[in-house]
Amino acid sequence: MRIEAIDVIAVRLPLRSPWHTTAGTLNGREVLLVRLRSDIGEGWGECAAFAEPGYSAEFVASARLVLRDHLAPRLLTPTEVTSTTASLLMAPVAGHRMAKSALEMAMIDAELRAEGRSFAESLGVTRTHVDAGVAIGFAGSPAELCDRIASYVDAGYRRVKLKIAPGRDLDYISAARDQFPALALQVDANGAYTVADIDHLAALDEFALLLVEQPFGDDDLVGHALLANRLRTPVCLDEPIVSVDTTASAVALGACDVVNLKAGRVGGYVAARAIHDWCVERNIPLWCGGMLETGLGRAANVALAALDGFTLPGDLSASARFYETDIVTDPIVVEHGGIAVPSGPGFGVELDLDLIERFRVA
């Protein structure tokens, strides 16, 4: 395609309830959308970065700047570009994977719409539905947590992930496990512990968890390896998995039994596919993480998660889990514990331009 224009639009969607994590509390989701116009048509992408650099170094304002000054100019060339060559053109820009992923997404969407194919079809997935999973932020008490879990179990969710941190872990997990003995349960610490907590974390083995995600900091692969050696509960990595190389390093060290894959974090869906394939060849289980995406990013993630290597339920929930109003005309819904893989052209969702205008902040 020849790209004619790239618009970067910031919207702020109100959240139905505040999202409490170690990175702070979110009351709304500010998110960047990329609208790309080309000689083959239009496509849309979404940037996974949050407003604050809490999950990773990228944030909305940094992504806007790098998209405008460094990434978009490399793609606005008179020559032909494709979603598979885009990463090479953007490679001279170090890092900023979420910003790169947003541009790549818009290109994939435009290409597939022009071909009349769905993203799922282009990936070669055969599943028509994926299991829904939900992530729950910090609750005020174990009892409050159990009430929230009950509401999601009633809504059909088949797997629940709890955020944990020092002082907000064993009592909460124990209460959840007592009340829901058969529930598929896993925990995510977003790096809130250190290797000094290994003895404490060994108690996680009592709760028959699917996995413990990212107990230590992004850089502490050796610490994760020590913990994995101590625990029966599988250790899953999130934040440090940014490429095939970092995945291979973590696995070689014994630091990573399970991979949480997020396309934005690894620079896009092309890179995500490569990591998926690498893991499948080595029997490393995968699941698809989430970044409070709008219906656009959510639809893309559902298709990705339909790949065979995603053997565990992802953080794939209904739009309504976070948003009263989504910006797509057909928000993602959970039915009988599953989510239908979108089958329309591109990512299979239509953006509501009036809603985008209503929520636009820049």
133-136 and 159-163 beta bridge pairing: parallel
Query: 259 or 299, CB closer to Mg ion?
Result: 259
At CA 202, angle to CA 197 and CA 206, rounded to 5?
A: 140
Residue pair 238/262 in contact (Cβ under 8 Å)? The answer is yes
Residue pair 5/353 in contact (Cβ under 8 Å)? The answer is no
Told to check if 257 binds Mg ion by CB under 5 A, we report no
Signed CA dihedral, 315, 273, 63, 83: sign only: negative
Q: How far is the CB of 211 from Mg ion (least distance, A)?
A: 11
338-340 and 129-131 beta bridge pairing: antiparallel
Q: How far is the CB of 159 from Mg ion (least distance, A)?
A: 14
DSSP notation for 197-211: GHHHHGGGGGG--S-
Query: 104 or 238, CB closer to Mg ion?
Result: 238
Considering CB under 5 A, how many residues would be counted as binding Mg ion?
Answer: 2
Q: How far is the CB of 190 from Mg ion (least distance, A)?
A: 6
Active-site residue flag, 161: no
Q: How far is the CB of 214 from Mg ion (least distance, A)?
A: 5
Q: How far is the CB of 327 from Mg ion (least distance, A)?
A: 24
Query: 64 or 163, CB closer to Mg ion?
Result: 163
Site for Mg ion in 12-51 (CB under 5 A): none
Site for Mg ion in 209-238 (CB under 5 A): 238
Query: 238 or 293, CB closer to Mg ion?
Result: 238
Query: 109 or 188, CB closer to Mg ion?
Result: 188
Binding mask 182-201 vs Mg ion (x if CB under 5 A, - otherwise)? ------x-------------
Strand residue runs (E) in 218-348: 235-237, 258-261, 286-288, 338-340
Binding mask 141-180 vs Mg ion (x if CB under 5 A, - otherwise)? ----------------------------------------
Strand residue runs (E) in the chain: 3-21, 24-38, 41-46, 129-131, 133-136, 159-163, 184-188, 212-213, 235-237, 258-261, 286-288, 338-340
Q: How many CB atoms lie within 10 A of CB 154?
A: 8
Active-site residue flag, 100: no
Beta bridge partners of 14: 28
Catalytic residue, chosen from 168, 262, 273, 321, is 262
Q: How far is the CB of 231 from Mg ion (least distance, A)?
A: 17
Q: How many CB atoms lie within 10 A of CB 104?
A: 26
Phi, psi at 278, each rounded to 5°: -60, -45
Q: Give the DSSP letter of residue 308.
A: T
SS3 call for 22: coil
Q: How far apart are CA 184 and CA 208, in angstroms?
A: 9
Q: Give the DSSP letter of residue 23.
A: T
Cα–Cα nearest to 31, from 52, 57, 54: 52
Query: 64 or 224, CB closer to Mg ion?
Result: 224
Catalytic residue, chosen from 163, 168, 276, 321, is 163
Q: How far is the CB of 358 from Mg ion (least distance, A)?
A: 30
Q: How far apart are CA 191 and CA 184, in angstroms?
A: 22
Query: 30 or 213, CB closer to Mg ion?
Result: 213
Q: Which residue ranges make up the site for Mg ion (CB under 5 A)?
A: 188, 238
- For the annotated catalytic residues, the residue numbers are 163, 262
